[in-house]
A and B are shown apart, each in its own frame.
Chain A
Amino acid sequence: MASLQDRAAHFKSSPAGGVWRALWPLAVALILGVVMQLLVRPNIDAYSSAQILNIGIAIILAVSLTIVNGFTGQFSIGHAGFLAIGGYVAGSLAFYGSFAIFGSGAAKLGILSGLYGAPAGAPLITGGEVLFFISLLAGGLVAALLGVAVGLPSLRLRGDYLAIVTLGFGEIVRVLIQQTPQVLMTKQDIAESPAWKVPLSVGGSLGFGNVPKYTSLFWVYAAVVVTLIFAYRLKQSSTGRALLSIREDEIAAEAMGIRTTYYKVWGFVIAAFFAGIAGGLYAHTLGISLSPVDAGFQKSFDIIIMVVLGGLGSISGAAIAAAIVTYLPELLRTPDTLQKFAIVGVPLLIAGFAMLAMAGRPDNEVDLKSGRDRRALPRVIITLGIVTVGLSVLAFIAKRFGINLGEYRLIIYALALVIMMITRPQGLLGVREVWDRSLYRPLRDFFAPRIGTSSQSSTGSSAGPSAGGTA
């Protein structure tokens, strides 16, 4: 009689197992999306749902850039170029496609679409939504194709040159979009002008605000789930291992028989695809007017900052940092909320320091090398604690002296960035993930301490490196 484990292994390798593996993430994505749109959204105010939507898009962008900057160790500073390309392609297709199919550029919302929900009595699914979905994919694919075009020549270069080429790419995209006709076409114009000219009229430097506004928490969070699971599986796959080996040592990876350029381009293309999808979602968001500035390098920097703050190579770190970076400047506008952060921050600090004391020194060199540093989690907690307490102190001071923090928010943000880079260069999580068990060892030790383990073997490691992680 086959054991349960055997049967599970058998199922995994069977065709049905393959289908299951391919489909369950989509099911999870659908379910989470529906929950976000139909259960969460009606219970929060408009401002919060817009914020949550922005965070979702930021997560897709940050996780996609993690594949290039974090997994592969290549440095791209033109990611916003792909965002803009995806956005403009999807937007143009959805806008002019609606004209061609439905006779007007307005959105046809089903119950799952629209930032603030659909009007009562909306159908389950509309033709407009199908068009929107196809546009998103098309935006992602065009961005991916451009990724090949940019990546193939430039990824042969090593070091900073990729950074410089991608920077140039983003700026070229920005300038080219600026040169498109500023006036969007009307139904009559479309009938009169040649077909190839129509989709190119995307508003130029004025921005492209008339894209039908389909994006909702459903679409964004479904995409977030797909992106996260994809990135996770990529990291575990042989392709992902090849990418990681390139990050660790490109020359050694090449010597091991890895086609470095091939894999670097692959990573780059995948990242471009997801950035394109994020761009499409962004373009279709209510209240957003896609503009050439979105392709510029300042937008790219925002995404890089998320990736580095989260920890290079950490999917969950990038996602968490994306949420923080998107939300923090907004928070600084409301000092009252900020002040209450101390309620969370002080216990975090106490817990962090207690755990650090319990964790003791790293056991030995092997422990450090295998990344099993017990001090990792306490450090993460302490970092979070310092940030939250610092913010609430700041809010308190500002309130006391009547300073408007909103005016200084970008300065605070910039300073926080510099201080973080100096004091915790490996980012929030380092190369770890939230679900890595090694991260939680201190928790286990805290609740069930093993007597003597940390003091017995810590003799030779008094001069251990002060920074945990190997970022």
Chain B
Amino acid sequence: MQWETVIGLEVHVQLATKTKIFSGASTAFGAAPNTQACAIDLAMPGTLPVPNGEAFRFAVMFGLAIDAEIGTRSMFERKNYFYPDLPKGYQTTQLEAPIVGAGHVEIQLADGSSKSIRIHHAHLEEDAGKSLHEDFHGMSGIDLNRAGTPLIEIVSEPDMRNAEEAVAFARKLHSIVTSLGICDGDMSQGSMRFDVNISVRPKGQEEFGTRTETKNLNSFKFMEDAIKLEVERQIDLIEDGGKVIQETRLYNGDTRTARSMRSKEEANDYRYFPCPDLLPVIIDEDYIEAIRQDLPELPDARQHRFAKEYGLSEYDAGLIAADAATAHFFEECAKACGDAKLSANWIMGDLAAKLNAAELTIQQSPVSGALLAGLIARIKDNTISNKIAKQVFEAMFNGEGDADAIIEAKGLKQMSDTGELEKIIDEVIAANPAMVEDWLSSEEDKRKKKMGGFMGPIMKATKGQANPGMANQLLEKKLREKL
């Protein structure tokens, strides 16, 4: 049977405010445990929450970015459950009247097509603390620094049909919130976490299958993997005559396996009710309009601008524009060296590979946009070949200085001295009579390609420093003299 996958996402985005959503405690990452957990975060009796205006401003920015209706009168509810990292015994969240209503996000797929994913709504809520289950004499340790950190939870409609679409959607959200500057986007620190609802149904069937929810995925790779795993599990289960039960599942990235966490129908009775501690929050049109006017450039607009202003392909422009920091790096480099295409290629190629291997973000890159521009300028003026450039880049990445200093220090300047190059080409021709014979006896239209065979030995003899264009020209001249 042909199966169709149906995927919906719930995305938790930590907002980059300085303080918590309901208290004036700091949200800075990495502080000693419980040093940023105040009386409100600890749910001490007699405390009263006061919402952080900045959290609302950030949520409204997100709403405007996804073309959503903004809730001008939003409210908070209590979602009740017991867990030690939630001292109040309830999470303050929004249910009936969220700050952000229905909107949509456009995603682009590898085949060049695009698709609109509907957002059901997005609401403000507080994060919980962290439980550490390492052994504390058979007890669990609780750190409440994260408790009360503002989140927006973005809830999509079940509009995605495979892992690729889900990952493209997740990446696009990441791109939007980091471009807006409302989230630092650092997934390794849990700044964005994904819950994925997955079901399968026979192709053509209208009705949805029973769904499961895989919780707390914190990387795009894990998300893709977890979806594939769960889709396969559901299809196998049904084809073997079984039934999918509605449940929460936990994915383990280390073992690439998932297990059932708890059965949903039994445990999740959250008994929501309006929070009596918080009044309705009223947001007026002038406030929304002012935020709209100040909205930073969004990824889609940036992509189109890069394509238009710098002559990049829409595809390249999309890759570069997706991340605000990468986009900034690119503009700095392209403006300084005057070659946008080469800048884009280096950033997406060698730089991305190096950063990835060193587990660095582009903000932490040892090679700045200006430094990379210096290297590209030397490729363009033929001081070095592309091959040597890679060597210079490696040295730049290791902090050995700028391109000019490295080229000078290592003697990497391209050999453009005709006399010296001519001598080497003569030697290569003399050393390879069979290749010369083959070239001479070839049809004219095959000769160009056959010259490639000589380039290896020439580059070897010049330690890669021969100017390829010049070497090619000289070689052809010398071979033709033998005709």
Q: Do A and B come from one complex?
A: no
